[in-house]
Amino acid sequence: MMAGLELVSASRCFDGEVRKYCHLSQSTKCKMAFNIFLPDTAISQHERVPVLFFLSGLTCNEDNMMTKGGALPHLSKKRIALVTPDTSPRGVGIEGEDDDWELGTGASFYVDATQNPWKSNYKMYTYVQREIQQLVYDNFSVDSSRVSIFGHSMGGHGALVLSLRNPGHYKSVSAFAPICHPSTSDWGRKQFLAYLGSNEEAWAEYDATELARAYDGPELAILIDQGDSDKFYSSKQLQPSHFIIATESNRRPIKLDARMQPDYDHSYWFIQTFMEEHIYFHAKHLKA
C-alpha cells in the first residue's frame, strides 16, 4: 500500500515489472484500476525514467494494452515506463450504464460529463490528465517532465484531445485508428449528446479536429496509423482525413505523420504490427 494505492498483482516481464493497482478516485468517485510497467532501472536504481500513458478503446479496460499490445520488450529496451488506465468508471449504479457497449461502462470518451446521470462519476478527462498522472509521479520513479501519450480508437481520440488541450505537457502523441472528428461521427455525436448536452459548441473541447484547427501552442509531434481495411474507417466513424486537413489549415507547428497501412483492420493485430515504431517515435522525443 502506498499513498492510497492497493497493489493487486506484480509480475516480472522483460527486465522489469508489470503491476496492477487499484485506488479510490476523487474524480470518478469509485474504485479505479490501472497497470504500470516499470523497467528495472526505475525499480532497483531509482532512475527517473520517461513515462508513456496509453488510452484504450471502446469496451476495453486497463489490461488490453498490457496483454495484447506487444509494447513491453520495446519499452524495456528504451527504459520507458508505461501506464494503462481503465476506460471508464465501473459499477457506479447509473441506470443503463451496462446496456450499450457504445455508452457508459467502457465508453467514457475521456470527457468530463456535464449532464445527468453521468456528471457525478464520468470525469475521465480530469482523471487521466490530472489524478492518475499525479499518482504516478508521486509514487513511482518516473520523470514528470518527460511524458507522452498514445491510444487506440476512442483512446486515440482521448490522446489527441489531451495533448492538444495541454500544449507543452506531452513531448509527443500517437494514435492507432483514432476517432478524429467525433462531432460529425456516429461515434461521438451519440456520446457527446449524452455526456455533454445538446450545445454542440461545447463539444469542440473534446474534438481533436476542432482543437487542431485552433491549436496555438509549441510544436507538437503526432504519429497516426490507420488501416485501410478497418471497417470503422470505411463507415466513416474515424475520419482521419478531417484531422489532416485541420492540421494543414493551422499554421501553428503541428508536425503530423499520418500513415495509411494497406490491408490492416482495427484490431490489436494491427496495433502489434506497428507498436515498435510508435515506441521508438516516442523514445526519440522523450529522450531528446
Active site residues: 153, 230, 266
d(CA 107, CA 60): 8
d(CA 86, CA 260): 28
Whether the Cβ atoms of residue 125 and residue 162 lie closer than 8 Å to each other: yes
- Residue at grid coordinates 499490445: 69
> Cβ of 15: how many Cβ atoms within 10 Å?
14
